[in-house]
Amino acid sequence: MCGIFAYAGTENAVPLLIEGLRSVEYRGYDSAGISVIDGSGAIQTVKRGDHKSSLSNLAEAVSDRRVSGTVGIGHTRWATHGEVNHTNSHPHSSSNGLVSIAHNGIIENFLELKDELVDSGVEFRSDTDSEVLAHLVGRAVESGSSLRDAVVAAASRVKGNTAVVAVSANEPEIVVGLRVGNAGGIVVGKNDDSAVMASDTIALLPYTSEVIYLEPGEVVEIEQGKVRLFDLDGSPISREPIVTAQNFEAAQKGNYPHFMAKEIAEQPDAVQSAMRGRVDIASGTLSLPELSLEREHFGSIDRVILTGMGTSLHAAMFGASVIESLARIPSIAENSSELRYRNPVIGPSTLVVAVTQSGETADTLAAMEHARSAGAPQAVVLELEGSQATRIADFTLPIRAGQEIGVASTKTMIASMTTLLQLAVVLAEGRGVVGSVQVEKIVEAIAELPSLVATTLGLNGQVSKLATRLSEFEDLLYLGRGAQLPIALEGALKMKELAYIHAEGYPAGEMKHGVNALLGPEMATVVSAPKNDLYEKMLSNISEVKARGGEVAVIATEGDEIVGRVADHVILVPDCPELLQPFVTLVPMQILAYETALALGRDPDKPRNLAKTVTVE
Ligand code: F6R
């Protein structure tokens, strides 16, 4: 939520800041702005609060090169306080003009701090909480503090999680960054000519692949070719950079019209990659080398709690269902924002599994911290290694889908599901619930996953026709049962976030308990009903919707000749073992939402009011 990029070096920072912001724009696109220190030592700020056009408008505004300087900060915003407009855009300057800051996070006591500053004569220009930081830092600098001390002092007054970068006219060579709590990461790197700082590693890759992640409670100064790390008491910290495996090209759109289209198409590779080094097809074995739990520990787990938000919660729900059914351990999936506040009973025999592609989601991190303090062994299933979640968890299970830029998660969900399926098998075998012969059979089935997923991509044309029809509805219902329930919920979530169509996901069995009242010609229903033990139950639900005048689209199994007699639209996915069905029904749900969004003229990569990484609760 919000993207930061900062540069200190020898070149004109302005185009470099714009490029850096392009890499972090997916984190928020309500506004974009930069501040640079110009040749006379003064801070120049240019910003645009034009929603999705902000960054391109900003790039145009600075293209005449009238603003230039070799040190600067930039920010892309996801609005929390104050509407989307020019004045609420970051960076924010102190009224004395000495300082400019860009901020991620929420200042929970900002009204109190604002009142105090207003009482002492400060005039606020914006409605943001962040502006208080600009004035606090500016005042401290005016009274003689170094920029670093001023930023640390200002942050100590603030309640809530904060990531901030700042420049000062008094120290025109440096940028200071600070991180307190989990308001998004800060990563720094340098080469001989420059030093850079950003919310996301990807923005640093044009400069270096050797990066340092700031821990909460750390502050950094960057200067041409130099990075200096300190704790909040001012003691220097020595930390070797790590070489990141992330790659810049992988995060480019290539020939695809949208990142989302590219990421949907990458799903067979994402599944394959999540299996690499874990599934051994030749020997029929499966392992998760990263889960270094002693074998005897497996037997002592009496409960698994999976947690995450949004799409990752749906992956977690799939994980709970597959862990319980294969490993026979009571398992539930719970929304992290609920889990963190309800004082759950968690202890050393509870295995907690967090699912978070970014590893930065504020609620998920808080739930993980709660689990850690309760002494529970904890694994995290995630894409972005180096993110905060890896430092909280005991075990990191990377999904290796490759960085996802489209705001709507697609390939990271399927790769998380692949990883969770493998976790279920490892737990089942570790507890002696399944033997090597059964594992061999499961491995044989899993080996087909990449090609099954690739086959479902070929359904694009059919799904696109259905999308044209569904785009005419204002309300949609999505139904599923068992392991198809998370897929139905995900289908509805995707449709809401991309097409802005009201879509409800429900367990099909819940219909008669109230939802049926909505049925009629005004609402279409999308049903996930592959051939399995619950298929007949789903057929009855479909008939019930039809009997009330509702139009029904069903995702069913190839060879199903019955469903077409009751449903209006049928999308047939490949026949496969029940364990793998959620993978093949998921893909048409994603394509359906993508195509519906296009039919309605929406931008699938930048849905309104959303951001990729949700670092505030
Ligand atoms: C929806 C979507 C979000 C994320 C959620 C959690 O398409 O992407 O619902 O799944 O914000 O994010 P992570 O996985 O980064 O914790």
Residue nearest to atom 10 of ligand 1 (CA): 311
pTM: 0.87
Beta strands in 316-372 (DSSP E): 331-335, 350-355
Total length of the chain = 617
Q: Based on DSSP, count helices (H) and strands (E) in the chain, helices before strands.
A: 20, 27
The pLDDT value recorded for residue 19 is 96
Select from 357, 407, 489 the residue to mutate for testing ligand 1; criterion: most ligand atoms less than 8 Å from CB.
Answer: 357
The pLDDT value recorded for residue 44 is 97
Answer whether 8's CB lies under 8 Å from 70's CB.
yes
Could you tell me whether strands 350-355 and 378-382 are parallel, antiparallel, or unpaired per DSSP bridges?
parallel
Is 357 close to ligand 1, i.e. is its CB under 6 Å away? yes
Burial class (CB in 10 A: 0-12, 13-18, 19+), 363: buried
Sign of CA dihedral 53, 54, 57, 63: negative
Is 162 close to ligand 1, i.e. is its CB under 6 Å away? no
Q: How many CB atoms lie within 10 A of CB 218?
A: 19
The pLDDT value recorded for residue 386 is 79
Structure token digits, residue 288: 């998760």
Structure token digits, residue 610: 């959303």
b/e sequence 500-524, b meaning 16+ C-beta within 10 Å: bbebbbbbbeebeeebeeebeeebb
Is 614 close to ligand 1, i.e. is its CB under 6 Å away? yes
The pLDDT value recorded for residue 294 is 73
Is 361 close to ligand 1, i.e. is its CB under 6 Å away? yes
The pLDDT value recorded for residue 536 is 95
Is 408 close to ligand 1, i.e. is its CB under 6 Å away? yes
Q: Based on the residue annotation, tell me whether 2 is a catalytic residue of this protein.
A: yes
Q: For residue 481, how far is its CA from the centre of ligand 1 (angstroms)?
A: 22
Q: Which of 2, 47, 494, 606 is catalytic?
A: 2
Name, in order, each residue with C-beta under 8 angstroms of 499's C-beta and a sequence gap of 6 or more.
Answer: 471, 593, 596, 597, 599, 600, 602
Torsion, Cα of 19, 21, 24, 30 (10° steps): -140
Q: For residue 519, how far is its CA from the centre of ligand 1 (angstroms)?
A: 30
Q: For residue 338, how far is its CA from the centre of ligand 1 (angstroms)?
A: 16
d(CA 32, CA 18): 9
Select from 309, 334, 615 the residue to mutate for testing ligand 1; criterion: most ligand atoms less than 8 Å from CB.
Answer: 309
Residue nearest to atom 3 of ligand 1 (CA): 310
Q: Is 196 helix (H, G, I), strand (E, B) or coil?
A: strand
Answer whether 340's CB lies under 8 Å from 367's CB.
yes
Q: Which of 47, 411, 606, 612 is catalytic?
A: 612
Sign of CA dihedral 75, 81, 87, 91: negative
Q: Based on the residue annotation, tell me whether 411 is a catalytic residue of this protein.
A: no
Structure token digits, residue 488: 């139905």
Q: Is 156 helix (H, G, I), strand (E, B) or coil?
A: helix
The pLDDT value recorded for residue 14 is 97
Q: For residue 311, how far is its CA from the centre of ligand 1 (angstroms)?
A: 5
Beta strands in 409-522 (DSSP E): 475-480, 502-507
The pLDDT value recorded for residue 82 is 87
The pLDDT value recorded for residue 609 is 87
Is 312 close to ligand 1, i.e. is its CB under 6 Å away? yes
Is 309 close to ligand 1, i.e. is its CB under 6 Å away? yes
Could you tell me whether strands 92-93 and 162-168 are parallel, antiparallel, or unpaired per DSSP bridges?
unpaired
Q: For residue 410, how far is its CA from the centre of ligand 1 (angstroms)?
A: 10
Q: Averaged in consecutive runs of 10 residues, what is the pLDDT profile of the chain (617 residues)?
A: 93 97 91 96 95 93 92 93 91 97 92 96 94 97 98 95 95 96 87 95 94 94 98 96 82 89 95 94 93 80 97 98 97 97 93 96 95 95 89 95 93 98 96 95 95 93 95 98 98 98 97 93 98 96 96 97 96 97 98 98 92 82
Instruction: For tokens 């930048």, name the residue.
Output: 606
Could you tell me whether strands 99-105 and 162-168 are parallel, antiparallel, or unpaired per DSSP bridges?
antiparallel
Is 615 close to ligand 1, i.e. is its CB under 6 Å away? no
Q: For residue 456, how far is its CA from the centre of ligand 1 (angstroms)?
A: 23
> Edge-to-edge strand order for the sheet containing 210-213?
43-48, 31-37, 71-77, 3-8, 195-198, 187-190, 210-213, 242-243
Q: Which domains does the chain show, CATH number per domain?
A: 3-251 (3.60.20.10), 259-447 (3.40.50.10490), 460-599 (3.40.50.10490)
Residue 498 carries which side chain, given as an amino acid letter? L
d(CA 112, CA 589): 47
Q: Which residues pair with 46 in a beta bridge?
A: 34
Q: Is 429 helix (H, G, I), strand (E, B) or coil?
A: helix
Q: For residue 110, how far is its CA from the centre of ligand 1 (angstroms)?
A: 28
Residue nearest to atom 13 of ligand 1 (CA): 356
Could you tell me whether strands 502-507 and 551-557 are parallel, antiparallel, or unpaired per DSSP bridges?
unpaired
